[in-house]
Amino acid sequence: MIRITIILLLMTLIPASPLIGGQVDECLTTVTVSCAGMRITICPAGDFEHIRYACGGSNDFIQVTVRDAAGNPVPGIPRTDYWLQACNPDQELCLCCQPILADDITDIFGVAKFCGPIVGGGCVLTDGIYFAVQGHIILTGPACVDPTCLAIVIVGPDLTADCAVTLSDLAVFAMTYNLCLGDPGYDPCADFNDDGCCNLSDFAFFGAHYQHTCP
């Protein structure tokens, strides 16, 4: 009886679990990239470039700091609770059901990093990508109504953005084959190794991901 009383007493003294945070606030939550000029190559099978290689190094990442309406950090957000998409609707990505996974749950400061692949297809050359946390798009600007667009370029062998690398993509690839930056008809979405040309090196990447679809 005494033991139960002590346990009940302790339970009233221990504060609520620090892993229970408030609601995600779209304006006070932030998202950043670790380096300028990030460029990521993606595949629906999730087996192309990892974010950590995207600025040419091996330590690069995207980072979110999740806060609630009071400005307090929101720890414990599951690794799966994120989404991303092109800021320019004309460049919409095709994303598989789990397109991005945080490296860990948000820590006591509300921070999570992303170093893994983006699982999907399509191409984003301009205007960048936005991030969402638990369905809340991270916003910015004086009125806090604009999505925070990260300056990231995304390319990949799924050129038709239907989450499958098929003959249709090969047809698009063939249209720009052996063309370089400045040539009429050149499509930078098919330059997977970022050397300004679409040639045999890019075809090798294409071949390595041919017939890949979402897991």
Taking the complex as a whole, the smallest distance from the CB of residue 52 to Ca ion amounts, in Å, to: 21
Angle between helices 200-208 and 167-176 (to 10 degrees): 170
Contact by Cβ (8 Å): 87, 127: yes
- To Ca ion, the closest distance from the beta carbon of 81 in angstroms equals 27
Position 188 contacts Ca ion (CB under 5 A): no
If we measure between CA atoms, which residue out of 128, 118, 125 comes closest to residue 189?
A: 125
104 binds Ca ion (CB under 5 A): no
One residue of 49, 60, 81, 158 binding Ca ion per CB under 5 A: 158
Residues 106 and 75: their CA atoms lie apart, in Å, by 5
By CB under 5 A, is residue 60 in contact with Ca ion? no
**Least Cβ distance, residue 157 to Ca ion (angstroms):** 8
In this structure, what are the phi and psi dihedrals at residue 98, rounded to the nearest 5 degrees? -125, 80
In the complex, least distance from residue 173 CB atom to Ca ion, rounded to whole angstroms: 10
- With a CB cutoff of 8 Å and minimum separation 6, the contacts of 213 are 44, 45, 163, 164, 165
Q: Which of 30, 98, 140, 160 binds Ca ion (CB under 5 A)?
A: 160
Would you count residue 202 as binding Ca ion (CB under 5 A)?
A: yes
Q: With CB under 5 A as the contact rule, which of the stretches 74-82, 106-114, 181-189, 191-199 interacts with Ca ion? A: 191-199
Instruction: Please report whether residue 169 would count as binding Ca ion according to CB under 5 A.
Output: yes
| Cβ pair 83, 41 in contact under 8 A | no
Binding site for Ca ion (CB under 5 A): 158, 160, 162, 164, 169, 191, 193, 195, 197, 202
